[in-house]
Amino acid sequence: MHLPSLLPTDAERVRSVLAAAHSMTVVTDGQRTEIRHLDGTDPLGRLHLHPAEPGADAEHRPAIRLEFTDIAPTPVRDRVRARVTLVGRLLTPYATEDSGSTCVEFGRAVLETPDGARSYVGLDELDAACPDPLAPYEAGMLTHLLDDHAELVTLLLRLVRQQPAAGGGAAVLRALPLAMDRYGITLRLEELRGHHDVRIPFPSPLDDVEQSGAQIQALFSAARRSSHRNTLPA
């Protein structure tokens, strides 16, 4: 089984991190406030992002920074998968109540990944992007896969075409599900002195979470049929 590995765009990744976030840090007026009751509710539902107004007097608009950390729900090494920061200026006071809303003059969104890459997403890109349909459900799906069907994670190794040669072909000690999006599943393969990630694409991208069961089962079926066997130490 060999399919091209499609990836979410940077804007889609930002929207997905926000959609699944359960907490964030708000930095404004020199103060940091931790907000931990998002409960998977996309904060953009309470933030009204406006384009910057040319020539506006920015000095009278307090700067605001919203920080989000995307953490793998499974016990992998180096669990931080990405960091997202929204930067702008407040047009109205920041509302901390669930019923409140805040207007922000949008500056930029920054996506940082563990490999040191940093990308910038503009407002038009953010508005045009949609969260991944699996984003609100991903944590539960991955923990269920690992806790109740760990043998199927090992089965998926049959679909990994090559083991990396890092460290002279170091043996994989443990394989854990790291991420899942509409395009496929990512496994983290842990070695004695390091790790690397591999993506296993779905037969076709998902449009809805309801399609995930059939696509995941298709991967398991393909793995059972595969004669390519990557195995873990007993």
* Residue 55: Cβ within 10 Å count: 6
CB neighbours of 39 closer than 8 A, spacing ≥ 6? Answer: 22
Tell me the per-residue pLDDT of 138-148, one tens digit each, with 9 for 90 and over. Answer: 999 999 999 99
Average model confidence (pLDDT) across the chain: 88
* Residue-wise pLDDT tens digits, 113-142: 999 999 999 999 999 999 999 999 999 999
d(CA 129, CA 12): 5
pLDDT band at 5 (very low <50, low <70, confident <90, very high): low
Distance (Å, whole) CA 199 – CA 149: 19
Q: Which residues have a Cβ under 8 Å from the Cβ of 107 and sit 6 or more positions away?
A: 52, 87, 88, 89
48 pLDDT exceeds 50?
yes
- Residue 167: predicted pLDDT: 46
DSSP letter, residue 181 = E
pLDDT tens readout for residues 148-192: 999 999 999 999 875 444 445 568 889 999 999 999 999 999 998
The DSSP string of 59-126 is GGS-EEEEEEEEE-SS--SS-EEEEEEEEEEESSPPP-STT--EEEEEEEEEEE-TTS-EEEE-HHHH
User: What's the pTM value of the predicted model, to 2 decimals?
Assistant: 0.88
- Alpha-carbon span 64 to 214, nearest angstrom: 43
